[in-house]
């Protein structure tokens, strides 16, 4: 019964009103004294609450009985009460849906998310969720350790029709059904990427993870500048490494085995 009373209160009745309404449903019509006895509401409070309930059309007066002048009360049938509350609630929902949509349409359309995730596990969970929610395309560069964790998520995304492109820093070609590239393995060339993971999802979210520091963390952003810069960063890394492998002898002869003449200056 307490749960019924609490639920009626959620619908706008006071505690006394809820108890009186329940008492009237089981004993109608009733006078004030009888209502107080059944409901447990103090008699002075019964008449005060009944007046308010009459104004809300939750109860109605009924004359008659052994004493024709005695006023008794009957409740609004509970099905009518529920139907009224239901219609009112639906009207409120419709009003808020339209009104809040109008308010939202006036918000700053240039707003974008930018936040930091602390911890390696938490950061990887964010990346996994982004892949699970992806609809169109993923471009990713990472180390084999992270790739092994994300591989099943990437395979499921690919099976949904998502275009996947990956670059792995520290492993030979892996067997995957999408375009995958490998990084040039000389220490100087690959060393600058240590602890790094970069991913762009659906061209509208970028996540950059750094896991080498004492406090591994990632930065997540939907800002177009962050997304475009991260996507181009991964793409350019793929372009350079493709050219190195395609023209390896000439590149090594000109820049050195570790590409030191190309990258050591800055």
Interval 199-216: pLDDT, tens: 999 999 999 999 877 889
For β-strands 163-168 and 179-182, DSSP reports them as parallel
42, pLDDT greater than 80: yes
**Structure-token match 């809040």, residue found:** 100
Count of CB atoms situated within 10 Å of the CB of 66 = 5
Mean pLDDT of 49-67: 79
d(CA 162, CA 202): 9
- Token pair of 246 as six digits: 């395609």
pTM above 0.75, yes or no: no
| Domain 114-263, second-level architecture | 2-Layer Sandwich (3.30)
Helix (H) and strand (E) counts in the chain? 11, 9
Residue 68's pLDDT band, with cuts at 50, 70 and 90, is low
Structural fold of domain 2-76: Arc Repressor Mutant, subunit A (1.10.10)
- The domains of the chain are located at 2-76, 114-263
d(CA 256, CA 266): 16
Closest listed residue to residue 39, CA positions, set 17, 12, 71:
17
Q: Could you tell me if 167 and 157 are in contact, meaning their C-beta atoms sit under 8 angstroms apart?
A: no
Rounded to 5°, the CA angle 110-141-179 comes to 105
Mean pLDDT of 76-84: 87
Q: DSSP characters for 85-130?
A: HHHHHHHHHHHHHHHHHHHHHTS-TT---EEEEESHHHHHHHHHHH
Mean pLDDT of 219-245: 93
66, pLDDT greater than 70: no
Residue 64's pLDDT band, with cuts at 50, 70 and 90, is low
90-137 pLDDT, tens digit per residue, is: 988 888 888 887 776 665 555 567 889 999 999 999 999 999 999 999
């Amino acid at each position: 019964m307490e749960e019924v009373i609490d639920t009626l209160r959620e619908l706008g009745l006071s505690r006394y009103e809820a108890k009186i309404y329940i008492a009237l449903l089981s004993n109608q019509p009733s006078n004030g004294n009888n209502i107080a006895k059944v409901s447990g509401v103090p008699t002075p409070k019964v008449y005060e609450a009944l007046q308010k309930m009459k104004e809300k059309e939750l109860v109605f007066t009924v004359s008659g009985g052994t004493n024709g002048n005695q006023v008794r009360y009957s409740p609004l049938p509970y099905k009518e009460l529920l139907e009224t509350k239901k219609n009112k609630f639906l009207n409120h929902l419709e009003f808020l849906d339209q009104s809040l949509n109008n308010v939202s349409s006036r918000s700053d359309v240039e707003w974008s998310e930018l936040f930091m995730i602390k911890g390696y596990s938490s950061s990887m969970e964010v990346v996994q969720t982004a892949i699970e929610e992806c609809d169109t395309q993923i471009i990713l560069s990472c180390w084999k350790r992270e790739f092994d964790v994300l591989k099943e998520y990437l395979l499921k995304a690919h099976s949904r029709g998502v275009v996947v492109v990956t670059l792995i820093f520290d492993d030979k070609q892996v067997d995957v059904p999408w375009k995958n590239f490998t990084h040039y393995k000389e220490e100087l060339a690959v060393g600058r990427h240590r602890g790094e993971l970069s991913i762009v999802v659906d061209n509208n979210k970028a996540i950059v993870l750094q896991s080498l520091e004492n406090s591994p963390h990632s930065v997540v952003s939907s800002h177009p500048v962050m997304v475009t810069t991260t996507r181009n960063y991964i793409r350019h890394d793929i372009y350079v490494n493709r050219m190195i492998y395609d023209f390896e002898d000439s590149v090594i002869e000109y820049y050195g085995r570790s590409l030191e003449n190309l990258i050591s200056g800055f």
